[in-house]
């Protein structure tokens, strides 16, 4: 591949200062963030202004603002740094028995318990130098994935954003919703009626993304609005909140089957049709051919198939 003239003219040593200037929007803070002197950062800014024929950073009162060109460079420059970092980190071989690596995985507490906990057992046996950093799903998840700041995102495809659904992905497993109450609940027997969905008090899971949980989205589409008695950000905590109360909840069948509190619960079929979730693994294309990343994806896929 021939190197374009524009790339030949570019000093790659300017990429890091450029990124710092675009993020910090201040010469002194940008210099401090990369560990160089203010004069050196000022010189880099002068060279960048000549290169792009644009001031990039301009003063507006007491603050500095990016020019339209500067704003348009933020994401591409971040992408260049991410690709360079991945290029330098990638090894042509990966031996899980001897190599070290830390992977960052975005997942709910439900996925962490059902899928990632068994992964730790496999790492203990086969890859003692591999660590996993689990980050909860949040409003920042899509941006983190697009910027390749995380290795994997595991979440239901039904609630993934349109941008995430364009990323490389692999379906892992499905799970369906069941209703659960205390096994000594006085008002609920072997079935739960549609009317009871709006009469009984409800334990609601609030999605950590800030939006409604998939089950509550479906209930709203059916015109049903349970009486919320308690809300929690922890899905795995929901079954533990039911014993000794008159509350009810919808939980994933795999979760309620694996929880120690299962013997204190009565699990019932939902009185309305509810679509299952399809937990899906997403990753950035920059990781696709990385041997270590490929090994991790295969581990997760194998464990999911054996659930």
pLDDT by residue for the chain (307 residues), tens only, comes to 454 555 555 666 788 888 888 888 888 898 888 888 888 888 888 888 888 888 888 888 777 888 888 888 888 777 777 666 665 565 567 898 999 889 999 999 999 999 999 999 999 999 999 999 999 998 889 988 988 889 999 999 988 888 899 999 999 999 999 999 999 999 998 899 999 999 999 999 988 777 788 999 999 999 999 999 999 989 999 999 999 999 999 999 999 999 999 999 999 999 999 999 999 999 998 888 889 999 999 999 999 999 8
What architecture (CATH level 2) is domain 177-275? 3-Layer(aba) Sandwich (3.40)
The fold adopted by the segment(s) 5-89 is: Arc Repressor Mutant, subunit A (1.10.10)
Q: For the chain, where are the E strands, in sequence order? A: 57-60, 63-66, 101-106, 130-135, 152-156, 169-175, 177-182, 201-205, 227-232, 248-252, 265-268, 277-282
Strand 201-205 relative to strand 227-232: parallel, antiparallel, unpaired? parallel
Superfamily of domain 101-174+278-302: Periplasmic binding protein-like II (3.40.190.10)
- Whether the full predicted model's pTM is greater than 0.85, yes or no, is no
CB count in 10 Å sphere of residue 263: 8
């Amino acid at each position: 591949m021939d190197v374009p003239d524009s790339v030949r003219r570019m000093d790659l040593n300017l990429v890091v200062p450029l990124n710092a200037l675009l993020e910090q929007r201040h010469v002194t803070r940008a210099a401090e963030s990369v560990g160089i002197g203010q004069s050196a950062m000022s010189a880099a800014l002068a060279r960048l202004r000549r290169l792009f024929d644009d001031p990039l950073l301009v003063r507006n009162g007491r603050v500095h603002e990016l020019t339209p060109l500067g704003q348009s460079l933020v994401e591409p420059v971040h992408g260049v740094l991410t690709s360079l970092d991945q290029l330098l980190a990638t090894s042509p071989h990966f031996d899980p028995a001897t190599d070290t690596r830390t992977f960052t995985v975005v997942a709910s507490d439900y996925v962490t318990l059902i899928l990632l906990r068994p992964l730790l057992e496999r790492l203990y046996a086969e890859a003692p130098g591999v660590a996993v950093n689990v980050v909860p799903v949040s409003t920042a998840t899509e941006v983190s994935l697009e910027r390749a700041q995380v290795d994997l995102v595991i979440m239901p495809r039904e609630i993934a954003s349109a941008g995430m659904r364009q990323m490389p992905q692999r379906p892992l497993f499905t799970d369906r919703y069941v209703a659960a109450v205390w096994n000594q609940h006085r008002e609920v027997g072997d079935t739960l009626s549609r009317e009871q969905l709006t009469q009984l008090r409800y334990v609601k899971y609030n999605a950590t993304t800030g939006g409604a949980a998939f089950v509550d989205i479906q209930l709203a589409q059916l015109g049903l609005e349970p009486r919320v008695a308690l809300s929690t950000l922890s899905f795995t905590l929901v079954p533990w909140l039911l014993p000794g109360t008159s509350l009810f909840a919808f939980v994933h069948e795999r979760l309620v089957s694996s929880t120690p509190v299962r013997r204190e619960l009565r699990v019932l079929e939902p009185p309305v049709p509810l679509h299952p979730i399809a937990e899906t693994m997403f990753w950035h294309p920059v990781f696709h051919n990385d041997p270590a990343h490929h090994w991790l994806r295969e581990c997760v896929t194998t464990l999911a198939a054996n659930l």
